[in-house]
Amino acid sequence: MFLPEVKSQKDEDICILIRVENHSYNYICECGEATSLTVKECQNTKAIFISHTHIDHFVNFDTILRHQIGIKQRIIICGPKGITKQVQSRIQSYCWNLITEDAIIYEVREIQSQETIKKAELKPPFWEITPLEDTSPPTVYENELFEVTYTILDHKTETIAYLFKGRDKTKIDLQKGDFKGGKWVKDLKTAFETNDINASIDIEGNMYKASDLFHLIEVKKGKKLGVIMDHAASPSNHNNILTTFKDADQVFIESFYKIEDKEAAISNYHSYSSESGRIMKECLVKEAIPVHFSRKYNEIDIEELIKEFEHAYKE
Ligand SMILES: [Zn+2]
Ligand SMILES: [Zn+2]
């Protein structure tokens, strides 16, 4: 159901666009420079997820803002401690004397901890921070199709790793019973989803207890997509990654360095190829994709880095 696309080239900063099947909005993870991110993609974006605000993850926010101004929508921005002020500072550095008040609203969800998410909105022309009622974790964003939860990792600053999880879907398998379809199908699904086992279900004038029909229901599990950005390859980070991303279907994970540059990884609180691959293997992730490589590497280096990752992930 999630159709992610890395919008940044290998020599650009990281930016991942997530489209969702049968859904008109899309979602942006990380605001690194990505020249192939189009105006339309920015305008169709409903929420932006930022791991941390090192320049390589936040530099392209202005471009997205430039394309979104005037769309008259509420856009959600999720990020780590301090993100609200940083978004405000970026926006306030421009002159807004000609803007209309309804041009856009940014709603910022600032992740304080696993227990607290502060919420505020910023509107033109002054972009003051107006606090809103806090959101309740563990979900930082949700809609009718999926929800997004998170874990906080250490990169000498806090970085947020996000998990997108599609909602489970229920389907009635008519072949398992002797009934024809009808309104009862919807009633039974509702009873199942709300765990109302005693609900009465009317099938062609006959009344049944909902739980007696639950065997007709098939549950299709929602897909899980992870985005794990900059983090030290430390036991405590790996522990958090394991708890949050176990059995995920697809995960994008930073692999900033090659094994030979492990010392640089340690001093910069980054991960490196073999450790990113190893933790993805341990999480039993079905498809792990290494992203976000140091700019000092040429194409051959990156090929080697990806081989090191694959070796640790698949062997
Ligand atoms: Zn960083
Ligand atoms: Zn980075």
Q: Same domain for 43 and 133?
A: yes
Q: Same domain for 7 and 133?
A: yes
pLDDT for 176 equals: 85
Task: Give domain status of residue 231, yes or no.
Answer: no
Q: Could you give the angle at the alpha carbon of 290 between the alpha carbons of 226 and 300, nearest 5°?
A: 165
Measured from the alpha carbon of residue 295, the closest ligand is 2
Task: Give domain status of residue 260, yes or no.
Answer: no
pLDDT for 315 equals: 83
Task: Give domain status of residue 301, yes or no.
Answer: no
pLDDT for 23 equals: 95
Q: Same domain for 31 and 118?
A: yes
Task: Give domain status of residue 292, yes or no.
Answer: no
d(CA 261, CA 4): 29
d(CA 2, CA 45): 14
Q: Same domain for 104 and 208?
A: no
Q: Same domain for 71 and 190?
A: no
Q: Same domain for 97 and 2?
A: yes
Q: Same domain for 121 and 175?
A: no
pLDDT for 9 equals: 87
**Counted domains in the chain:** 2
Measured from the alpha carbon of residue 57, the closest ligand is 2
Q: Same domain for 179 and 127?
A: no
Q: How far is the CA of 176 from the centre of ligand 1 (A)?
A: 53
The two three-digit tokens of residue 1, written as one number: 């159901």
pLDDT for 16 equals: 98
Q: Same domain for 59 and 187?
A: no
Q: How far is the CA of 229 from the centre of ligand 1 (A)?
A: 8
The two three-digit tokens of residue 190, written as one number: 């509702």
Q: Which of 220, 236, 253 is the last residue of a domain?
A: 220
Q: How far is the CA of 13 from the centre of ligand 2 (A)?
A: 8
- Tell me which residues have their CB within 5 A of the ion that is ligand 1: 54, 230
Task: Give domain status of residue 7, yes or no.
Answer: yes
DSSP string, the chain: -EEEEE-S-TTS---EEEEETT-S-EEEE-----TT--HHHHHTEEEEE-S---HHHHTTHHHHHHHHTTS--EEEEEEETTHHHHHHHHHHTS--TT--TTS-EEEEEEE-SSS-EEEEEE-TTT---EEEEEEPTT-SEE-SSEEEEEEEEESSSEEEEEEEEEPPEEEE-GGGSSPPPSHHHHHHHHHHHTT-TT-EEEETTEEEEGGGGGGGEEEEPPPEEEEE-S----HHHHHHHHHHHTT-SEEEEE--B-GGGHHHHHHTT--BHHHHHHHHHHTT-SEEEEE---TT--HHHHHHHHHHHHHHHH-
Q: Same domain for 126 and 5?
A: yes
Q: Which of 121, 137, 153 is the last residue of a domain?
A: 137
Task: Give domain status of residue 32, yes or no.
Answer: yes
Q: How far is the CA of 196 from the centre of ligand 1 (A)?
A: 47
Give me the average pLDDT of each 10-residue run along the chain (315 residues). 93 94 96 94 98 97 96 97 98 96 97 96 97 91 97 98 95 86 92 92 93 92 97 98 98 98 97 98 98 95 97 94
Measured from the alpha carbon of residue 156, the closest ligand is 1
Q: Which of 137, 156, 190 is the last residue of a domain?
A: 137
Q: Same domain for 40 and 123?
A: yes
d(CA 195, CA 199): 9
Q: How far is the CA of 270 from the centre of ligand 2 (A)?
A: 8
Q: How far is the CA of 230 from the centre of ligand 2 (A)?
A: 5
pLDDT for 174 equals: 86
Q: Same domain for 131 and 175?
A: no
pLDDT for 193 equals: 87
Peptide bond between residue 124 and the one before it cis (omega within 30 degrees of 0): no
Task: Give domain status of residue 270, yes or no.
Answer: no
Domain housing 68 = 1-137
Q: Residue 121's beta-bridge partner residues?
A: 107, 130
Q: How far is the CA of 55 from the centre of ligand 1 (A)?
A: 8
Task: Give domain status of residue 291, yes or no.
Answer: no
